[in-house]
């Protein structure tokens, strides 16, 4: 027979286990703060790549925090501005208007890190030391790391025991072919596909504009904005199984 104190302890443990099981998943979405290549060429977040996953995560009941290197309003790539007023993505626009600085985030509270594209990440996220620390921690603790289009530039910020995080990992990003077709190859500081390969990544690509999602353990990457829905679905499928 159990005494009253023992019964209370058992109930507390069971309640805690139930709470843990039903705890809302927490997603840290990281976007660029870079708004231009130069005074004549603007850049920023590609809105669809953020808005579509953001909406999907909220629909799943996940708790989402949006962060950027500088915090505040994240710049939107003008070429995606035709999507700004989509009423379905109004909340996503609001989230981008009020990001928190990466260095103020308690990243240990989150279940997943999601890096979004637009060309901005190849100007700031690829060398962001605070982001690098998060990726290193998530790699060690086997938490989900996901990135789409130019978002994988952020993966270059991290090293594990002095070795690039991406070394030996299967992944994808906006390809050299797609960069050239977009007429951005002479503007970008480096070709992201080449940079990831040089860091030791096992690059997996499809033809230009084709949906492509690559999963390697706790790393999920998407090739382009056309992959945004499949990217969100892959993240949700992963998180709902843990």
Confidence tier at 89 by pLDDT (50, 70, 90): confident
Residue 163 inside a domain? The answer is: yes
Query: Does residue 7 surpass a pLDDT of 70?
Result: no
pLDDT at residue number 15: 38
Which pLDDT belongs to residue 90? 84
Among 130, 169, 133, 177, CA closest to 152: 169
Note the pTM of the prediction, 2 decimals: 0.89
Q: How many CA atoms lie within 13 A of 47 on its CB side?
A: 21
Assigned domain for 17 exists: no
Domain total in the chain:
1
Assigned domain for 44 exists: yes
Range of the domain at 117: 25-239
As a whole number, mean pLDDT of residues 175-182 equals: 97
In a domain, 137, yes or no: yes
């Amino acid at each position: 027979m159990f005494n009253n104190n023992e019964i209370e302890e058992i109930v507390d443990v069971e309640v805690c286990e139930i709470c843990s099981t039903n705890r809302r998943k927490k997603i840290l979405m990281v976007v660029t703060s870079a708004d231009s290549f130069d005074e004549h060429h603007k850049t920023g977040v590609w809105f669809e790549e953020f808005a579509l996953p953001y909406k999907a995560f909220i629909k799943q009941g996940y708790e989402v925090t949006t962060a950027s290197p500088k915090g505040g309003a994240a710049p939107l790539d003008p070429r995606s501005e035709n999507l700004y007023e989509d009423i379905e993505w109004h909340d996503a626009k609001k989230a981008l208007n009020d990001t928190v600085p990466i260095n103020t985030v308690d990243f240990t509270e989150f279940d997943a890190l999601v890096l979004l594209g637009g060309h901005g990440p190849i100007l700031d996220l690829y060398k962001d030391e605070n982001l690098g620390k998060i990726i290193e921690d998530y790699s060690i603790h086997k938490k989900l790391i996901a990135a789409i289009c130019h978002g994988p530039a952020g993966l270059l910020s991290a090293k594990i025991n002095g070795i690039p995080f991406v070394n030996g990992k299967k992944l994808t990003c906006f390809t050299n072919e797609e960069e050239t077709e977009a007429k951005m190859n002479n503007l970008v500081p480096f070709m992201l596909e080449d940079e990831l390969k040089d860091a030791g990544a096992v690059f997996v690509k499809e033809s230009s504009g084709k949906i492509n999602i690559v999963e390697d353990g706790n790393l999920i990457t998407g090739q382009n904005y056309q992959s945004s829905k499949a990217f969100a679905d892959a993240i949700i499928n992963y998180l709902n199984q843990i």
